[in-house]
Structure formats: structure tokens, C-alpha cells
Amino acid sequence: MIVAVARAKKDAKALKHALKEEVLSLGGVRSLEECDLSTFKNLIPVFFFGKEDITLAEELTQALLKHNIIFRVVILNKKSVRNARLSELISAFERAKAEIRLGITYKNSAWCFSFHGLEKPFVFKEIHPDYDAYIVIGEKFVENLKKFFDVEIPQGALVLRKLYNEEEFYAPRLKAILSKKLGVRPEVLFYDPSLESFEVSIKKTLAENERFLDFLEQVSLNFLLKTLEGKKVAVPFSGGKDSTAVLLLTKKVVKDVTAIYVKTNFELPHTYDYVVKICDELKVNLVIKEVKFDLERFGHPTHENRWCTEIKLLGLKESAEELGVDVLVAGDREAESKKRRKRKSHTKRLLEEIYPIKHWSALMVQLFLLKNRIPLHPLYLCGFYRLGCSICPSLSDWEHEILKSLNS
């Protein structure tokens, strides 16, 4: 889906050695007239050029803009790509992928993705491969920010989620930095109450990004079409935004889709009802696999001992094998963790697995679902970033506080 591209075959060979990924070559062309741009119709290319090819890179950039294609152009500080160090190539590729997710600008009361990385300045001053972005949606989310942090953040605020659950809130300028670090009380690291905030229009954000979202979707759909033909397909469906997006994408490609919901005895509020509702709306066959978390036997799950994940995966594997599933289509994304970032988009773990939204941000997922009139799980509207079980060791104190407020 995202593919590295070099001008010459020797450069492509060097890139492939560094990235351990599929790499395309322009075939050694020296002029724009020799380039076949149709090659990238359903791909998101990251072009690598050395200093000797700057003119070609500039011409290519202008030509691709007319095709409304999402891409990045990397100019290395070397004569040619093959002269660069492996670490430099890896770092440049990870940076380019992060810019596709996080290269966001503000205009016309909306957040806008940059198609090509030339629109400056980005809202975020810091771009990092392990960062994610999303927007504040839901009046309850706004109320909870006021209640637990005593900060005024409007709906539509853009959030940069950094390492260790540190989050920057933009409305549209940096308004607050909040810490939701695991095992620590929520804390305000920075807040400027004097800075005037504007409620960014989600409706305008959808309108401004319509072509971007259409292309993004088409890239993922094309990946699914090539991979799923003639195979029995299932989607591990947790009710989270990522698996919901993947379920919708898969349904657009495959008529007969099964959603496997591994239901524990420690589900979060609303999850069961949400899963049933979405499967009903999408006319997807729902299989519910119930598993039991025995705390008396195993103790409370920890980051060092996540026995709960193994039980859920075993339940998923059993259901998939009973159904005769060939491929699992999962909602893993690179921005969620370094481990998922390093995982290939097509791999084999429990079964054959593919990840069609691997290169998406949480914001892309939110907008895709809203564009398709798919409601978000109610807990996202209260302030949750991710969903799991109520005993998940990855739940922050902030999320525990939200759950307490729901029960009070």
C-alpha cells in the first residue's frame, strides 16, 4: 500500500536491502517524460532521490499533484540513494510514513491532510513514527476533560498522542498538554487558558478531506481485492474503531464476511450492544466466541504477564478454524506500537493475516467511519483512545476515572 520507489535499479536494490520491503524502480529514467505515473494509481509511493536527481524530483512532484495522489518525496543528502547508509534510508522511510499520518494543516475552520508534504507549516511541530493523531468528538469527552483536568477543550480539537500517553491538544494552536501515563494520576503539563479556542468543524473537516479519504480508501480496497480473491474471510471484531473500519472495508470487497467477536467476562460497557448493532447494520454474519478470564487462577493481567491476550487469541483461532477461515483481516495500525509498525501488512500468525489500515492514523479512521455514517463506540465519545477489556493493564487512570463516572 505504501511503497518505496527509487529512480534506478541499483538504488532500488539498496532500498530493498535496508527496508526489507517491496521496492519499485522508475527504471533508471532521467526525465519526467519517461515516467509512467499510472504505476502508482492504487499505491501511496515514497520516492527516494539523491542530490543528482533534484530536478527530476521537483518535476515529478508537480506532475503527481495533478493526479491527486498521496505521496512523499525524500531528497537524501547523498549523490544517489545507493550511497546512503542503511540507517539513513530506514529513518527517512519511517519519517515519510509518519508525515502521511501526521502531516496536517489548519485552514477554513478544518483540519486538512497534506497530500504531498509541501503544505507548510504542519500543525504538529514534531513528527515521529510512533505518534498518532485523533480529534475530540463528543460532549461527554469535553465534559470529562473539564472534570478531570480542569481544562477547556472544544469539540473538534486535534490531539497529538505521543509516547507514554502524553497528549497535545490543538484548537487550532497548542492549548494544553496532558499526561495520561499508565499507573499515574492524570496531570496537566501545560495549559494556556488565555488562548482563544475555536471549535473546529468536523463537517468541514470531512468536506476538506473528501478526496484524500476517497484515495486512502481506494488504496486499502485495492489491497483487499488483490489479497482476498477466492478466500474465506473473517474479521476479528472487538467493537473498537479500527476493527469497525476494517469490517466496513472488507464488506465493500467481499459479500460473505464473518465477524468474530471474542467476548470475555470483563467487557467494557456498551461493547456487546455496539458489536451486535454494527454487524446488523452492515449485514455481517456475527460469531460470538465466549472466553473466561479466571483471575483467581492467573491473577490480574500485567504488562509482563498478559495471559488474557493469549486466551483471546486462542478463542479467535478456534472460531476461525471451525469456520474454515483462510484469511483474517485485522485492524492493526503502525501508530499503535513499534511492534505493529515493524509487522508486515501481510503475515502469518494465528492464520494468514492482513492489515489494510496499517498506515492509517486514528484520525483517518474516525473520519472514514463518520464519512460512511458509522457511529463510534460510545466510550470514544467519553474520552477513550482505545478499547479492550475492563481489566486491561493498558487502561490509564484517566480511562478508569471515566468508567467510574459511568457507574456513579
**CB of 171 closer than 8 Å to CB of 197:** yes
**CB of 361 closer than 8 Å to CB of 133:** yes
The pTM is what? Answer: 0.95
Strand order in the sheet with 132-135: 132-135, 158-161, 166-170, 174-179, 187-191
Could you give the domains of the chain?
2-102 (3.40.1360.10), 104-203 (no CATH), 214-360+383-407 (3.40.50.620)
Length of the chain: 408
CA dist., res. 187 & res. 210, Å (int): 36
Backbone torsions φ then ψ of 346, nearest 5 degrees: -140, 110
Secondary element (H or E) of residue 284 = none
Q: In terms of Cα–Cα distance, which of 94, 108, 93, 165 is closest to 134? A: 165
- Bridge pairing between strands 158-161 and 132-135: antiparallel
**pLDDT in tens for each of the 408 residues of the chain?**
899 999 999 999 999 999 998 899 999 988 888 888 888 888 999 999 999 999 999 998 888 887 778 999 999 999 999 999 999 999 999 999 999 999 999 998 999 998 776 666 789 999 999 999 999 999 999 999 999 999 999 999 999 999 999 999 999 999 999 999 988 899 999 999 999 888 889 999 999 999 999 999 999 999 999 999 889 999 999 999 999 999 999 999 998 999 999 999 999 999 999 999 999 999 999 999 999 998 989 888 888 888 999 999 999 999 999 999 999 999 999 988 777 677 777 788 778 999 999 999 999 999 999 999 999 999 999 999 999 999 998 999 999 999 998 876
Secondary element (H or E) of residue 44 = strand 44-49
CA dist., res. 40 & res. 6, Å (int): 13
